Amino acid sequence: MFTIFGIPGPLLFGQLLLGLINGAFYAMLSLGLAVIFGLLNIINFAHGALFMMGAFVAWMLLNYAGIGYWWALLLAPLIVGAFGLVLERTLISRLYKLDHLYGLLLTFGLALVIEGLFRNEYGSSGMPYQIPSALQGATNLGFMFLPNYRGWVVVAALVVCIATWLLIEKTKLGAMLRAATENAPLVQAFGVNVPRMVTLTYAGGVALAALAGVLAAPIYSVNPNMGSSFINTVFAVVVIGGMGSIIGSVITGFGLGVIEGLTKVFYPEASATVVFVVMAIVLLTRPAGLFGKAA
């Protein structure tokens, strides 16, 4: 068996792959955040709570309606996205003229309220959610056993990230969205309903969080705090990638997953802090983030 820096090669490859899988979650969550920030200028602190709602809605669909995982992948983002739509229309839309800080405070408060309500109803220890039967089991890759479900998560996350990027960068709708963020009155003058577009963008970002929640439900504990344990890292990812940069958030998400995975091999005690060390270094050298445009 060969070794790299004293670590057996197979173990190292295994950890790299696992890092990539965790990175897939970071990428999907930071993608939604980046879309919302890029187009609405709202720092959506409720993102973790909405991720949690996605997982809970999947659990509810299964337990109250008998609807399984595959339909939940479609329905949960729609349901939570609709909830996001209501949030945007009733609360968030009132803040666009104000400083960023108000949006941050509002969404942070919303996160506390949503998590509190779920905790009150479902407790803190979590709900069981099984891996769908088609994806149970593991595949022997030679250097590690890869659970089939994890493989699916990486593929699904990559597809979603690429699709979102294509939608925003390469379609007419995306072009209008980008134009609206640059100069909303002008776009409106061309007959485009900008407020509706903004609402749908928020709902879309929220739906991405919910989709990540459904993907996470079979492998992480489905409990009201599950979002808050992710959200700090995800915000770091967004900052490193460059606020509002879609491609930046995706690449940084996967990249940081790998860095975190490697840290777990060499010095596990630091694996929770390494992301923030990277963030500090990036902010010192490139204040706008790796892929951000300087203001």
Which x/- pattern, by CB under 8 A, does the window 97-116 give for another protein?
Answer: -----------x---x---x
User: Under the criterion CB under 8 A, does residue 255 sit at the interface with another protein?
Assistant: no
Q: Residue 241: name the closest of 26, 89, 14 by CA.
A: 26
Taking the C-alpha atoms of residue 83 and residue 207, their distance in angstroms, rounded to an integer, is: 9
Q: Which two tokens stand for residue 253?
A: 């998400």
Q: Residue 259: name the closest of 289, 245, 243, 279 by CA.
A: 279
User: Under the criterion CB under 8 A, does residue 131 sit at the interface with another protein?
Assistant: yes
User: With contact defined as beta carbons under 8 Å apart, do 133 and 62 qualify?
Assistant: no
User: Under the criterion CB under 8 A, does residue 258 sit at the interface with another protein?
Assistant: no
Taking the C-alpha atoms of residue 80 and residue 94, their distance in angstroms, rounded to an integer, is: 21
The correct pick among 85, 102, 126, 132 for binding another protein (CB under 8 A) is: 126
Please, what is the minimum distance in Å from the beta carbon of residue 202 to another protein?
20
Nearer to another protein, 100 or 170 (CB): 100
User: Under the criterion CB under 8 A, does residue 273 sit at the interface with another protein?
Assistant: yes
Taking the C-alpha atoms of residue 39 and residue 44, their distance in angstroms, rounded to an integer, is: 12
Neighbours of 220 (CB within 10 A): 16
User: Under the criterion CB under 8 A, does residue 22 sit at the interface with another protein?
Assistant: yes
Please, what is the minimum distance in Å from the beta carbon of residue 92 to another protein?
18
- Looking up tokens 């969550």, which residue turns up? 29
User: Under the criterion CB under 8 A, does residue 149 sit at the interface with another protein?
Assistant: yes
The beta-strand segments (E) located in 107-251 are 138-140, 145-147
Q: What angle is formed at CA 135 by the lines to CA 123 and CA 25, rounded to 5 degrees? A: 60
The correct pick among 4, 101, 189, 270 for binding another protein (CB under 8 A) is: 270
User: Under the criterion CB under 8 A, does residue 59 sit at the interface with another protein?
Assistant: no
Which x/- pattern, by CB under 8 A, does the window 184-223 give for another protein?
Answer: ----------------------------------xxxx-x
Q: Tell me how far apart the terminal alpha carbons of the chain are, to the nearest angstrom.
A: 51
User: Under the criterion CB under 8 A, does residue 8 sit at the interface with another protein?
Assistant: yes
- Looking up tokens 């091999």, which residue turns up? 265
Residues in 221-240 at the binding interface with another protein, rule: CB under 8 A: 221, 223, 225-226, 228-232, 235-236, 239
Nearer to another protein, 89 or 286 (CB): 286
Please, what is the minimum distance in Å from the beta carbon of residue 288 to another protein?
14
Handedness of CA 172, 173, 175, 179 (dihedral sign): positive
Which residues make up the interface to another protein (CB under 8 A)? 8, 10-11, 14-15, 18, 21-22, 45, 108, 112, 116, 119, 123-128, 130-131, 137-138, 144-145, 147, 149-150, 218-221, 223, 225-226, 228-232, 235-236, 239, 261, 264-265, 268-273, 276
